[in-house]
């Protein structure tokens, strides 16, 4: 009889606990819905966070809090909330649609494609084709210095990006660089111009909403003095997005002129406001080429006012055959740079057109005279988004 009494007490307590949990759920559901309907986004975010911390956690709550983050422009926080929904319901159309948009606004086209592939045609009537052009760009830069033995360098690049299926993004570019290089011989000053043609391709694949992998190839046909060099560079890496950070690790390897090299990079990108209004990118590189060298670069970008961004960067280390921007830019000049810094201004003219202007200062060593000189470069470019 005593054991029956204890069983009844335990059952009563269990029913009471369930009833309280049900009341808490109903309260959280009705309160969050009211805040959602009223558009009280900050209050909804705070209430949702408190509810989850107290153990009240359900998909609709995450969807409402995610939308509050999305509508206030914190896209990384919105993605974190949508991922919670997609853990239990990978085909949730609302979560996938807004995760797609959030990634687009963060310039993460491969991750956006992952969510786009999960959308039904009935959800997104104007669903983009899995194979389409994303953007086209062109840029031209001039490098100049007071070194009388160096003519102005000219760099021109044309680039394209397109999707090959929803999860694949292909970036390609064609470039030309030319510069007069003069050095003194027994016969006086001799000009050995540099002429270089380039092709670059990188394929990104989004494995899931957080992880993407990529591989690429960069070919450079370099003519200098009496020699012609066919240079080949390969790269492979991965990126992982979590919260307001992106971690990237990649390896680069190849042969430039007569030198075999490897470069290993670790990169951390931070978006404190959950968008492109403020960001920090730190990159550490280890170069293996006639010994080991360490290079560190730091980039800081911010939105100054509507449709206008500014970015500053600095790179410290010996930039001999140094690869930047996922091996898009190759520092293989005859004169080695030991330091560079610069700034870029971006102006969004419309939903399709982005203009940018860059200034870069480099400290370089004259290969023939073993002395340092300063080089300046100005680059202007335009990107058209389809």
Residue 208: C-alpha distances to residues 37, 83, 128, 129, 251 (Å): 32, 11, 19, 19, 21
Task: Give the tokens for residue 249.
Answer: 């690790």
* CA 274/CA 225 separation, integer angstroms: 50
Q: Is 124 a domain residue?
A: no
Say whether both 9 and 90 belong to one domain. yes
Q: Enumerate the β-bridge partners of residue 287.
A: 263, 293
Structural domain ending residue among the three candidates 66, 81, 116: 116
Beta-strand ranges (E) seen in the chain are: 131-145, 153-164, 168-179, 182-185, 188-191, 194-206, 211-224, 227-242, 245-256, 259-270, 278-288, 292-305, 308-319, 322-324, 329-331, 336-348, 353-365, 372-385
Q: Which residues contact 238 (CB under 8 A, 6 or more apart)?
A: 211, 212, 213, 214, 248, 249, 250
Which residue range(s) make up the domain with 106? 2-116
Task: Give the tokens for residue 134.
Answer: 């994303």
Say whether both 144 and 241 belong to one domain. yes
Say whether both 172 and 43 belong to one domain. no
Say whether both 40 and 167 belong to one domain. no
Whole-number pLDDT of residue 23: 61
Q: Which helix (H) or strand (E) holds 280?
A: strand 278-288
Q: Is 194 a domain residue?
A: yes
pLDDT tens by residue, the chain, 386 residues: 556 554 544 444 444 444 454 567 888 899 999 999 999 999 999 999 999 999 898 999 999 999 999 999 999 999 999 999 999 999 999 999 999 999 999 999 999 999 999 999 888 888 889 999 999 999 999 999 999 999 999 999 999 999 999 999 999 999 999 999 987 777 777 888 999 999 999 999 999 989 999 999 999 999 998 889 999 999 999 999 998 999 999 999 999 988 899 999 999 999 999 999 999 999 999 999 888 999 999 999 999 999 999 999 999 999 999 999 999 999 999 999 999 999 999 999 988 999 999 999 999 999 888 789 999 999 999 999 99
Say whether both 255 and 341 belong to one domain. yes
Say whether both 175 and 91 belong to one domain. no
Q: Is 122 a domain residue?
A: no
Whole-number pLDDT of residue 200: 98
Say whether both 158 and 70 belong to one domain. no
Q: Which residues contact 189 (CB under 8 A, 6 or more apart)?
A: 149, 182, 183
Whole-number pLDDT of residue 290: 83
CATH number for the domain harbouring residue 27: 1.25.40.10
* CA 74/CA 274 separation, integer angstroms: 4
Q: Do 146 and 364 contact (CB within 8 A), yes or no?
A: no
Say whether both 141 and 110 belong to one domain. no
Structural domain ending residue among the three candidates 64, 81, 116: 116
Q: Is 105 a domain residue?
A: yes
Q: Do 66 and 86 contact (CB within 8 A), yes or no?
A: no
Neighbours of 227 (CB within 10 A): 10
Total tally of structural domains belonging to the chain:
2
Length of the chain: 386
Reference 375, options 142, 56, 123; nearest CA is 142
**Exposed, middle or buried: residue 143 (CB in 10 Å: 0-12, 13-18, 19+)?**
buried
CATH number for the domain harbouring residue 222: 2.40.160.40
Say whether both 320 and 216 belong to one domain. yes
Whole-number pLDDT of residue 122: 83
Structural domain ending residue among the three candidates 116, 148, 167: 116
Q: Is 68 a domain residue?
A: yes
Say whether both 325 and 198 belong to one domain. yes
Say whether both 158 and 101 belong to one domain. no
Q: Is 76 a domain residue?
A: yes
Q: Is 248 a domain residue?
A: yes
Say whether both 225 and 268 belong to one domain. yes
Q: Is 16 a domain residue?
A: yes
């Amino acid at each position: 009889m005593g054991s029956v009494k204890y069983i009844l007490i335990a059952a009563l307590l269990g029913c009471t606990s369930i009833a309280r949990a049900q009341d808490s759920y109903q309260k959280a559901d009705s309160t969050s819905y009211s805040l959602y309907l009223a558009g009280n986004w900050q209050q909804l975010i705070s209430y949702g966070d408190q509810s989850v911390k107290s153990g009240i956690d359900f998909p609709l709550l995450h969807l409402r809090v995610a939308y509050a983050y999305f509508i206030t422009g914190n896209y990384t926080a919105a993605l974190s909330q949508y991922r919670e929904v997609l853990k239990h319901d990978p085909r949730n159309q609302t979560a996938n649609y807004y995760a797609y948009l959030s990634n687009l606004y963060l310039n993460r086209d491969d991750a956006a494609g992952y969510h786009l592939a999960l959308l039904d045609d009935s959800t997104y009537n104007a669903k983009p084709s899995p194979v389409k052009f994303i953007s086209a760009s062109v840029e031209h830069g001039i490098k100049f210095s007071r070194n009388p033995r160096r003519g102005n360098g000219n760099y021109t690049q044309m680039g394209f990006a397109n999707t090959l299926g929803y999860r694949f993004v292909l970036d390609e570019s064609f470039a030309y660089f030319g510069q007069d290089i003069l050095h003194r011989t027994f016969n006086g000053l001799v000009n050995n111009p540099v002429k270089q043609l380039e092709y670059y391709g990188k394929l990104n694949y989004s494995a899931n909403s957080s992880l993407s992998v990529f591989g690429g190839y960069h070919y450079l046909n370099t003519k200098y003095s009496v020699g012609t060099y066919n240079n080949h560079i390969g790269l492979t890496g991965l990126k992982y997005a979590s919260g307001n950070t992106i971690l990237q690790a990649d390896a680069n390897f190849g042969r430039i002129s007569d030198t075999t090299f490897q470069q290993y990079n670790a990169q951390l990108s931070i978006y404190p406001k959950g968008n492109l209004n403020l960001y920090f990118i730190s990159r550490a590189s280890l170069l293996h080429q006639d010994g080991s060298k360490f290079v560190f670069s730091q980039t800081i970008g911010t939105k100054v006012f509507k449709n206008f961004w500014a970015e500053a960067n600095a790179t410290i280390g010996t930039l001999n055959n140094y690869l930047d921007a996922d091996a898009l830019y190759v520092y293989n000049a005859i004169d080695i740079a030991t330091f560079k810094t610069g700034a870029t201004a971006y102006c969004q003219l419309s939903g399709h057109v982005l203009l940018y202007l860059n200034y870069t200062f480099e400290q370089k060593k004259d290969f023939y005279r073993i002395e340092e000189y300063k080089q300046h470069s100005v680059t202007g470019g335009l990107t058209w988004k389809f």
